[in-house]
Structure formats: C-alpha cells, structure tokens
Homo-oligomer: A and B are copies of this chain.
Amino acid sequence: MRPNSVKLLWSQNKTASCGWVSCDSPLIAETMGQSGLDAVVVDMQHGMTDLQSLPAMLTALATTAATPFVRLASGAPAEVMKALDAGTYGLICPLVNTAEQAEAFVASASYPPRGGRSFGPFRAKYYAGDGYLEHANDTIVTMAMIETSEGFQNLEAILAVEGLDAVFVGPADLALNFGYPPGPEQAYEPLEQAMATILEQSHKVDKHVGIFCSNGAGAALRKSQGFDLVVPSNDTYALARLLNADIGLINGA
C-alpha cells in the first residue's frame, strides 16, 4: 500500500504543510497538489464539496504528490466510510466534544476487528495499490477537531482514544467558544494558552496536532511553535487577499 507522506514526516518529527480547498473545483485542488504542499484538505464542512463531488476532488489530488485529506461535515459513519472509499488518506472530524465521539469516529474509519468500516474501497484501492485491506487502518490519519469549550475540557480523554492519530485545532470556532470573534494568530492570549496546552498534552501522549492558520506567516509561526501540520489559509481567503493587493497596485498606478 502506498505510504502516507504525513505519517512519514511525523515519524521523522517533521511538520507537514497542508493546503485547504473550499471551492469544489478539481483544477484548484490539482493546482494546490502541484504546489509542493505535503497534503491538501478538501473541506466538506464549510466548503462547497459534498459527497457527490468528493471523488473528483480526490482524483485530482491523486495526480499529484500531495496526500489527499478530507475535513468531514459531520463524522456520521456513512460519511466517514464514503470519504475513505473515495480515496482519502487523512480524515479531520469536526466538532469532537467527547471521547465517545472520537471513538465512534475512529471505529467508523477502521476495518474489523478495530472498527466497523464496511468493505468496498473502489477508488481507494486504485490510489493505495495492493494491500489496502491489511494496511488501511494504520495508514490513514484520523484527526479530531478541538474547537469547542467542551472538546477542550475533554482533551485528555479524547487523546486517550486508541487509533486516533492527532487532533486539529479550529482557531475560529475555539475563539467563538472562548467569547472572541475569529482573529489572526496571537490575537487573544487565553486562546494562545489553550493552544499551547493542546500541543503539550498531545505531544505528551505521542499524538500530533494540526492547525488552520491565517496565511503563510501564520503557518510558519505555528510550525516554529511545534505544530505538526500547518495550513496556510485556504483557496478563497488567499485569492481574496491577493486580489485586494492587486487592486491596490492597479488603483495606485
């Protein structure tokens, strides 16, 4: 089975750079995959991709060196299984508030005996090559989002879930739960402290931590803080920022 580049990087104590696609254009996914990023997330929660268009997005990423990840909309078992069958190598489950939710997520993502994933990985086998059934459970990355007060309070129990590889910090939702509007890196000290706690507790039990960032500089900051997977914004935010700068140049001419 094709190895998971993110797991390889983590085994070498390296940080993975990771793109994030919010539109449902395979060309944009392929452009991100061609850029040199280690992985690319297709966002089914807040992005335009749903289960119908997910295979096209993952197929586009499969033409590139970037490892295809998916942020789920819900973590419902049928969604987890369809996302995996479509060829996902990493799953980010949103709004994980309890260890029970994390366990259910991992169980849906794992073949028996570890879990209850049903067998039929049509596209996944094309991407993975031989040995998918034997190696899928250990190759695919499972990440639980810590983005609510409840999830933060249950962090230790969530981190103790066997088979969960990592947590992913959602700074915007975590800020809202802490009573702040979403902001850039280092906007709110209590939020930064919470993130440091998440990083420390996770690393203590050999779990990894990913995080969404405002831009490339934000991602560089998070990498320097020790985060294991950093996302330098997404397609639409990045494009809007760039266009804003371009228009400034044009207007100034």
Contacts and interface: CB of A to CB of B under 8 A. Distances in A.
Contact of A56 (B26, B73, B148): B26
A120 interface: yes
A193 interface: no
Contacts of A232: 243, 246-247, 249-250
B46 A243 contact: no
Nearest to A58: B63
A153 interface: no
B235 A28 contact: yes
Contacts of A111: 176
A74 interface: yes
Interface stretch (A4-12, A160-168, A218-226): A218-226
A30 B126 contact: yes
Nearest to A111: B176
Contacts of A25: 23-25, 27-28, 48
Nearest to A125: B34
Interface residues of A, number: 95
A26 B59 contact: yes
Nearest to A175: B119
A27 B236 contact: yes
A20 to B, nearest CB: 11
Contact of A27 (B23, B50, B112, B219): B23
Given A23-B25, A25-B48, 7 more contacts: A45-B78, A46-B82, A48-B123, A73-B82, A112-B176, A232-B243, A238-B243
